[in-house]
Amino acid sequence: MTAAERRSVAALLAALLSVVGRAAAGDPAPPRGEPPALAAELARLDGQRVEVAPDRASYRILDIAGEGAPLVGVVERRGASLWLRAEVGPPRRLVGPLAVPRIAGPGYKVWVIGRVAPDGELSARRLGILARPVRR
The CATH number linked to 105 is 2.40.50
Do 132 and 71 share a structural domain? yes
pLDDT for 13: 40
Do 44 and 12 share a structural domain? no
The domain total for the chain is 2
* The pLDDT of residue 14 is above 60: no
Distance, CA of 71 to CA of 85 (rounded, Å): 10
Using only C-alpha atoms, the chain has a radius of gyration, in whole angstroms, of 19
Instruction: Characterize the bridge pairing of strands 122-131 and 92-95.
Output: parallel
pLDDT for 75: 96
Do 61 and 20 share a structural domain? no
The pLDDT-based confidence of 33 (bands split at 50, 70, 90) is low
Q: Please tell me the least confidently modeled range out of 2-11, 59-68, 102-111, 126-135.
A: 2-11
Do 76 and 95 share a structural domain? yes
Q: Output the CA–CA distances (angstroms, integers) from residue 131 to 11, 75, 128, in the order listed.
A: 31, 11, 9
Adjacent-strand bridge partners of 82: 77, 94
Average pLDDT for the chain: 82
Residue numbers of the domain that contains 8: 1-30
Do 41 and 23 share a structural domain? no
Do 76 and 9 share a structural domain? no
Q: Please tell me the least confidently modeled range out of 15-29, 72-86, 89-103, 121-135.
A: 15-29
Do 98 and 51 share a structural domain? yes
Q: Which of 85, 81, 94 is nearest to 120 (CA)?
A: 94
Do 40 and 24 share a structural domain? no
**Interval 61-115: pLDDT, tens:** 999 999 999 999 999 999 999 999 999 999 999 999 988 888 778 999 999 999 9
Query: pTM of the entire structure?
Result: 0.72
Backbone angles phi, psi at 103, to 5 degrees: -95, -50
Adjacent-strand bridge partners of 131: 109
Do 10 and 68 share a structural domain? no
